[in-house]
Amino acid sequence: MVDAKRTLEDSTDLMRRSFVERFGGSPRIYRAPGRVNLIGEHTDYNDGFVMPAAIGFHTRIAIAPRSDRKLVVYSENYSDQVEFDLDHLPAKCAGHWSDYVVGVVKMLVHAGKELRGAHLLVDGNVPQGAGLSSSASIEVAVGYALLDLANPAIEGESLDRTKLALLCQRAENEFVGARCGIMDQFVSSHGERGKALLLDCRSLKYRQLPLPDGVALAVCNTMVKHSIAQGEYNQRRAECEAGVRGLSKHLPNARALRDVTPEALEAYGEELPDVVRRRCRHVIGENARVLQAASALEIGDLAAFGKLMRESHRSLRDDFEVSCAELDLMVELAEQVEGVYGTRMTGGGFGGCTITLVRADCVEAFQQTVRQGYERGTGCRPEIYVCSAADGVGRVA
């Protein structure tokens, strides 16, 4: 974690100095954020709707060109350096931090981008294994930095952020081997300060929804690392796909659970195995909740928004079964605090964090109550991050 007292200028300066000591030259510095999802969980890979926000935790890349075709990448977090030749990139992932870098480079090359050799210094403060998308933030930061460096004539603003997000998702799906949806990379690319992003994961159309003043996004880390998540995640995806196959007898046009209404599930769901039917019920209900939550936000009805968050959590716990005792406890504790509009687990599940919308003037009492209750209940001290919605990827210096 970065010391909160360090201002952005100070830390950018430190990073530049650290780069120059290691590599010389004069680097450009880029930054891509992690995210928290307000509502719309496990809907992205079902062609559905999500509403994440980028947050203040990020990965930064300092980068300067080399005259050859080598990429030399140093991680401040791992105190480790790797080297690659742009013309002979590794064929397989190695279970190493640099997989995310190599994956993105490979996808950029595959997409026909002309890259140049470079020195890169990587430094991130997104808590890892906490479900706040540290991987998307490194992917998007690396992709953006390399593209911007390769095309100095095009200033960053004209870079296609949606294409970048898709390339980064592909790196994770095809190179790293995690079958994630598009949500994390998309909001890391497109996030806007003070706004939640409502995304249609089929058309990739999105709207920025202003978050009202006076509301904090409190992110509570259970400190349970979601390490079993990948196998379970892929299994949930497979169950959703099985649901679509089962229902397509009656709904030949259904390509994804996005195309199934609650009424259709009611009518034909009986034929599905119980587990599959419950997975479908979560996704179909969650899609509807995201759209209702967007309407509630647009008219400033935070009570309605909060109710939808609570319903989302129950559905993730009971039907989708991706919560865990620690997440449930964190939610129960938060629900009892004054000024809380709504609270739920966020991200893939099986550990990681909850997200709570809480009145800004109640946030201190909230932290104290939740911290004490959680520590009493689990013997473990949680971390609580009070966040606000941040900008997506960009150049900082």
Site for ligand GLA, residues 79 to 108, rule: CB under 6 A? none
Q: Which is nearer to ligand GLA, 27 or 351 (CB)?
A: 351
In our burial notation (b when 16+ CB lie closer than 10 A, e otherwise), range 212-230 reads eeebbbbbbbbbbbbeebb
- Nearest distance from C-beta of residue 280 to ligand GLA, angstroms: 16
- Nearest distance from C-beta of residue 188 to ligand GLA, angstroms: 11
Nearest-5° angle of CA 163, CA 169, CA 174? 120
- Nearest distance from C-beta of residue 156 to ligand GLA, angstroms: 25
Site for ligand GLA, residues 172 to 201, rule: CB under 6 A? 180-181, 183-184
Q: Which is nearer to ligand GLA, 347 or 351 (CB)?
A: 347
- Nearest distance from C-beta of residue 183 to ligand GLA, angstroms: 5
Q: Should residue 351 be labelled a site residue for ligand GLA when binding is judged by CB under 6 A?
A: no
- Nearest distance from C-beta of residue 394 to ligand GLA, angstroms: 22
Q: Which is nearer to ligand GLA, 125 or 137 (CB)?
A: 137
Give Cβ neighbours of residue 180 (< 8 Å, ≥ 6 apart): 45, 169, 172, 173, 233
Nearest to 147 by CA among 21, 14, 32: 32
Nearest to 232 by CA among 178, 274, 159: 178
d(C-alpha 216, C-alpha 125), whole Å:
20
E-strand stretches of 138-275: 195-200, 206-210, 215-221
Q: Should residue 347 be labelled a site residue for ligand GLA when binding is judged by CB under 6 A?
A: yes
Q: At what angle do helices 274-298 and 302-318 cross, to 10 degrees?
A: 170
Residues near ligand GLA (CB under 6 A), total: 10
E-strand stretches of the chain: 28-39, 49-65, 70-75, 80-85, 118-124, 195-200, 206-210, 215-221, 340-345, 353-359, 383-387, 394-395
Stretch 14-53: interaction string toward ligand GLA, x if CB under 6 A: ---------------------------xx-xx--------
Q: Hunting for tokens 């990965």 — which residue is that?
A: 59
Q: Should residue 327 be labelled a site residue for ligand GLA when binding is judged by CB under 6 A?
A: no
Q: Among all residues, which ones are annotated catalytic? A: 184
**CA 176, 63, 134, 188 torsion-angle sign:** negative
- One-letter amino acid of 212: P
Q: Which is nearer to ligand GLA, 120 or 224 (CB)?
A: 224
Q: Which is nearer to ligand GLA, 148 or 184 (CB)?
A: 184
Q: Which is nearer to ligand GLA, 118 or 256 (CB)?
A: 256
Q: Which is nearer to ligand GLA, 28 or 282 (CB)?
A: 282
- Nearest distance from C-beta of residue 396 to ligand GLA, angstroms: 25
For the chain, the helix, strand and coil percentages under 3-state DSSP, each to the nearest 5: 45, 20, 35
- One-letter amino acid of 359: R
- Nearest distance from C-beta of residue 352 to ligand GLA, angstroms: 9
Q: Should residue 348 be labelled a site residue for ligand GLA when binding is judged by CB under 6 A?
A: yes
Under the rule (CB under 6 A), what is the footprint of ligand GLA?
A: 41-42, 44-45, 180-181, 183-184, 347-348
